[in-house]
Structure 1
Amino acid sequence: MNDDARKSVISKTVSISEALTEELRSKVLDGDIPAGSLVTETEVASTYGVSRPTAKSAIQSLTHDGLLRRRPNKPAYVPHLSKSDIEDLYFVRIQIETSVVRHLAKNNLAPSAALKAADELAELPEDAPSSVFAYTDLAFHASLVDATNSERLIELYRTLLDEIRLSMAQARYALGQQRISSEHHGIYFAIEERNELLAVDRLTDHLNGACYALCANQAKK
């Protein structure tokens, strides 16, 4: 991408800082800024034709979201999520999401947005960018959480989303897109049938399987 093309991504319909943050987020998730890369204020400002404070704000946002990490007096960098990082993420996910599907099944709350997300993942091209794959996959899970209408739970879950997306993007083909879509449908239909135990079992198996695949892929590197 040349300089003009890079700078053109900064949309005038949203704030420059927001547009820059979203552009960098996609670059990290797609691997265009790979794990281990430094992301400095000077380079970001120069590449995208923005001020240093704007670059700093975008870097801070991505650091807060878990897509970048920063040591004291050092520039931010893209982390390579370790086995322990992945296991911890999925431990937290299982605690949250099993409670969610149990609640939804018990209260007959099968959100149509979840079924739509499962269908969209099934139709997603196999060569879709990693960021698109991760967003489409997690749209299913986020829609389940959203259906609880619990503002605090929704906010808590959202703090995890980018780091989960990063774990998936760094192992793009380890998960099996069609298998994931099939399992999403299975979870949804268990909720729709108001079968709490089946919904919890399917969700737990789904997340444990994803965690295992991601950890196995990480061990190869």
Structure 2
Amino acid sequence: MGRNNIKAIWQLKKNGEIWNLFVLALAFVIGIVLEFIFKKTEIEDVIRAGDVVAAAMAYGYLIINLFIKVFVLADEVPRGLSFGMTRKVLFLYSRLVDFLEVLIIAIIAMFASTSLTPNTILKIAIAVYCLFNWIEATAGNGMLKFGKVVYWIYYIIFLVIMIGGPRFIESVSGAADGTALIIDMFINPFYNQLYVWLGILAFTLAGLFVNWLTFRKIPVNFSL
């Protein structure tokens, strides 16, 4: 049964993995081109090509998955259930694949980046995994039940946050300092890392728990 589940999850995930490989390959090419350009200028003394590659991979992976993960989930779940997988098995295997994706990106970034420490990259990776779980728990599972209207609501909210978020932070007193503090806690070892890690892990576990609660009994719309 385990082997059948592995085959089934591969059938579900292979298209998404092809997209991820395309993003990684594109980021690598961009990094090589930028490294060639930087060698002709003094920019290389400020920005390393490895950091550009790591940033391009992370940004590309994050943006693509933020846009398509909800749609992919709506396609994968009905197919997975039609393959005979139980909801529990489908959920566990899917979350494991998501985690491995993020972990692989993080490992590549650790080798490529010269500015961020492995500890910082790992914290960012787990935070991204946490974000994906909360998106799946709300927009993804909501789309399974209510259809594509949920995706458009999510898409609009996403654009509002991306476009209006920076302006909101600038306009609200103390918001900029709070945001800077959160970022600093991720990258600055001055802060007690135990509490930082506990906060990240607690938020991640909460996301997994809510994701499972909203997924395990939600009616699935097979007509999406």
Normalised by the length of structure 2, the TM-score is 0.30
Normalised by the length of structure 1, the TM-score is 0.30
Name which one, 1 or 2, has greater alpha-carbon Rg: 2
Which has the larger share of helix? 2
